[in-house]
Structure 1
Amino acid sequence: MTVLNEEELIKIRRHLHEIPELALEETETHQYLLEVIKKFKQDNLEINVPAELPTAIMVLIKGSNPQRTIGYRTDIDALPVSEKTNLPYSSKHEGVMHACGHDIHMTVALGLLNYFSENQTQDNLLFFFQPAEESKSGGKLAYEKGIFHGKWKPDEFYGLHDNPDLPAGAIGCREGTLFAGTTEVNIDLIGKGGHAAFPQEANDTVVAAASLIMQIQTVISRSIDPIQSGVITLGKVEAGTIRNVIAGHTRIEGTIRGLTQKMILKIDQRLKDLCKGIARSYNMEVNIELNQGGYWPVENNPKLTKRFISYMKNNPKVEFIETKPAMTGEDFGYLLAKFPGTMFWLGVEDDSQLHSATLTPDEKSIWRGIEVIKGFLIDRMEN
């Protein structure tokens, strides 16, 4: 049996930092997490490795008199980033790094799990170590594969994301949307190529694409409520091979960001309508592909989030900061569309931003985060 202190948790975090793995490839991380968890007191623990999602881990802590099952999710994958921190515990996997701080996320979860393995709760606690947050929609995969069922189904779900802009150990949250939802946009315009000197014999997709791009720029300004917020960025356009040949094919790639799923679906429909209009206007084929996967907006449950914020504001040991919505994506949004819950920020105070090759979170945030979240979970079970 192991009771972890702050120094031991930092050692765990540093080892996790050394072994980052990409989405659905988290085998070494998975093995190490299991090794750590199996050293905890097992009296009230039940470990489940779902065959449908083999790098995931679910751990149920059985409550003494459960009225509900409270879920806590942590993500475990890393990014295809080459680390440039020069730390002695830098990534040993070339071209892969925990540049989004999921090593911090996992360590906080392990600290909480360790505490509650030694101190039985009233309610059941379900810890979900989720693969594939950065890509491949791990949360959506988990839900669609049916791993949340029976005793493995939470009544409510909580999860954190580290934030380098907040002081180490501070908690940030807000009612409503914390993270925007994201959708990948791919548009192919198919016309007819030809000689630049004979445009009447061709059907120029570059001209049509230019018109479409300008029309898309009006979607946010004219189709979305101005007191809300959304973004459409078309970041890549490919067409043609040489200056004196009319391009018969143009491809546009971009991204949509929106603060509610309803807004994203409205933007999706407007893009489809514009593509149909361009196809008719320019007498060509226009195909649009919209890929959202599980990256829905992280829309916090009103009732549970009010309770969470109230606890944090009224706890003198907590530095609470009300934050603005972030236009970055997080696949916990899909799970919050299926289960009521709250996502929040844990401050890790760093000059580098998330996804940066030089991200170096302040490790003091680990113990501080555990203490605060532990207190909230205990309070939640008592009220």
Structure 2
Amino acid sequence: MVKMQNLNLLQIYQDLHQIPEIGMEEYETQQKLLSIISQMPQDFLEVRTWKTAILVHVVGQDTSHTIGYRTDIDALPVTEKTGLSFASKHPGKMHACGHDLHMTVALGILAKFAAKKPAVSLTFIFQPAEENASGGKQLYESGVLGSWLPDEIYALHDNPDLSAGAIGCRQGTLFAGTCEIHIKFSGKSGHAAFPHQANDMVVCGAEFVSQLQTIVSRRIDPVKAGVVTIGHLEAGTTGNVIAGQCQVDGTIRALTQEVNVAIQQEVRRIAEGIAQSFACQVDIDLHQGGYFPVENNENTTAEIIKYFKSSSLPYIETAPAMTGEDFGFWLSKIPGTMCWLGVDSPYSLHSDQMAPDTAAIGAGVRGFSGFLDRRAAQLAN
């Protein structure tokens, strides 16, 4: 049984797993977290809420520095098929990306610092809507952090491909920046027998998708990673009617913001050019929000890698991944680092059978509380 500062973390994890909620709707989750936080020593804790977010400030011995630790709290619209005895009680919703484990580790770390005043102040950010609504960007731009805004910030993300408790990290980009593609072409429908009297959006959409393939292969430096994926194309209603509209949806992924923006510009240019050549209307929605690349800061990352290489936890230098994470927005504003925490599962993130090895909880708490304690001592005047 995983216990930390009188908290039964395994039970907390199981309780959180049963109440998954979609971004900006994490009301039950927020109340559960507040209840647990209220059981900790309150001598140097201050708590604020913003919508479904929770901010906990731990007043340090030296208040001239503040270290941030962020966890996400939302779930996914996935129907769970794990067969666990503590499976989701909310139909069609599941913690399939491990945010329940992220929250549990954060609570364990917070409990340690609530029991012993840290060398500098800490701000714990329990952030909503990582999956669907750029919760990090919303929270940052709300201004609610105020004087609690950290000087540097850290976070973890579970990784099914690493052994339970292993730490993965790297200098530079850990996760890609992402951008949603939503494009609608509007022409003129008509009878299949009279194509000259219509403006076929099936052909238009097909041409657009085909031309997108030239962006990464011919418009982006081949040593800089990026990808454009179209996952949805819908046009027409039946085989003998020429379609007057075509909806195309997809995603851009790139390891730097520079490349992501360049790809966005090319997608827009191609869409506008196709619309002109087909004499049709086009509506273009390229939505990045706060999903910037997770670009680890050189100095903070050097410190955390140095620490974990000397710790008892296995350390692995990982390759960058094309997955997205809105912690990238935090890192665009505040220097910091995100690491992987291994959870050893045969199922991928977002799978309806994702079930992490809970041995990672204790390892995550020990590893990150140890690092934050040492980092606080380094920063203290």
> What is the TM-score when the length of structure 1 is the normalising length?
0.95
Secondary structure, counterpart of 1:192 in structure 2? coil
Q: State the Cα distance separating 1:73 from its structure 2 match.
A: 0.3
Partner of 2:327: 332
Partner of 2:194: 198
Work out which of the residue numbers 77, 82, 87 in structure 2 matches 1:85.
82
Task: Within 5 Å, give how 1:57-68 maps onto structure 2.
Answer: 57-68=54-65
Partner of 1:56: 53
Q: State the Cα distance separating 1:278 from its structure 2 match.
A: 1.2
Secondary structure, counterpart of 1:160 in structure 2? strand
Counterpart CA distance in 1 for 2:7 and 2:153 is: 28
Q: Residue type of the partner of 1:39?
A: Q
Task: Within 5 Å, give how 1:133-282 maps onto structure 2.
Answer: 133-150=130-147, 152-282=148-278
Q: Residue type of the partner of 1:343?
A: M
Partner of 2:73: 76
Give the conservation status (yes or no) of the 8 Å contact 2:102–2:158: yes
| Deviation by residue 1:105-148 (Cα, 9 ceiling, x = unmatched) | 01110111000111111110000011111111110110121122
Asked if residue 382 in structure 1 is aligned to residue 381 in structure 2, the reply is: no
Secondary structure, counterpart of 1:66 in structure 2? strand
Partner of 2:362: 367
Counterpart CA distance in 2 for 1:164 and 1:348 is: 5
| Deviation by residue 1:303-323 (Cα, 9 ceiling, x = unmatched) | 21122112212x141210111
Extract structure 1 runs of 4+ deviating beyond 4 A.
none
Q: Residue type of the partner of 2:47?
A: I
Counterpart CA distance in 2 for 1:205 and 1:89 is: 48
Q: State the Cα distance separating 1:161 from its structure 2 match.
A: 0.4
Give the conservation status (yes or no) of the 8 Å contact 1:6–1:367: no
Identity of aligned pairs, percent?
53
> Mean Cα displacement is larger for which, 221-230 or 164-173?
221-230
Alignment RMSD, CA only?
Answer: 1.5
Partner of 1:129: 126
Partner of 1:9: 9
Asked if residue 307 in structure 1 is aligned to residue 303 in structure 2, the reply is: yes
Give the conservation status (yes or no) of the 8 Å contact 2:224–2:259: no
Counterpart CA distance in 2 for 1:18 and 1:272 is: 42
> Mean Cα displacement is larger for which, 135-144 or 7-16?
7-16
Counterpart CA distance in 2 for 1:58 and 1:19 is: 20
Counterpart CA distance in 2 for 1:90 and 1:193 is: 48
Q: Residue type of the partner of 1:342?
A: T
Give the conservation status (yes or no) of the 8 Å contact 2:7–2:108: no
Give the conservation status (yes or no) of the 8 Å contact 1:82–1:94: yes
Partner of 1:110: 107
Q: State the Cα distance separating 1:280 from its structure 2 match.
A: 2.1
Counterpart CA distance in 1 for 2:301 and 2:367 is: 15
Counterpart CA distance in 1 for 2:18 and 2:241 is: 51
Structure 1 residue runs of 5 or longer lacking an equivalent are none
Partner of 2:338: 343
Q: 1:377 to 1:243 in 2, by over 3 A?
A: same
Asked if residue 119 in structure 1 is aligned to residue 116 in structure 2, the reply is: yes
Q: Residue type of the partner of 2:181?
A: V
Counterpart CA distance in 1 for 2:272 and 2:84 is: 53
Q: Residue type of the partner of 1:218?
A: T
Counterpart CA distance in 2 for 1:316 and 1:100 is: 26
Partner of 2:45: 45
Q: State the Cα distance separating 1:7 from its structure 2 match.
A: 7.5
Partner of 1:317: 312
Q: State the Cα distance separating 1:264 from its structure 2 match.
A: 1.0
Structure 2 residue runs of 5 or longer lacking an equivalent are none
Q: State the Cα distance separating 1:232 from its structure 2 match.
A: 0.6
Counterpart CA distance in 2 for 1:245 and 1:29 is: 49
Asked if residue 27 in structure 1 is aligned to residue 27 in structure 2, the reply is: yes
Counterpart CA distance in 2 for 1:6 and 1:297 is: 37
Counterpart CA distance in 2 for 1:370 and 1:137 is: 26
Q: State the Cα distance separating 1:6 from its structure 2 match.
A: 8.5
Q: State the Cα distance separating 1:157 from its structure 2 match.
A: 0.8
Counterpart CA distance in 1 for 2:89 and 2:273 is: 51
Counterpart CA distance in 1 for 2:121 and 2:7 is: 28
Work out which of the residue numbers 286, 292, 301 in structure 1 matches 2:282.
286
Secondary structure, counterpart of 2:228 in structure 1? strand
Counterpart CA distance in 2 for 1:230 and 1:19 is: 36
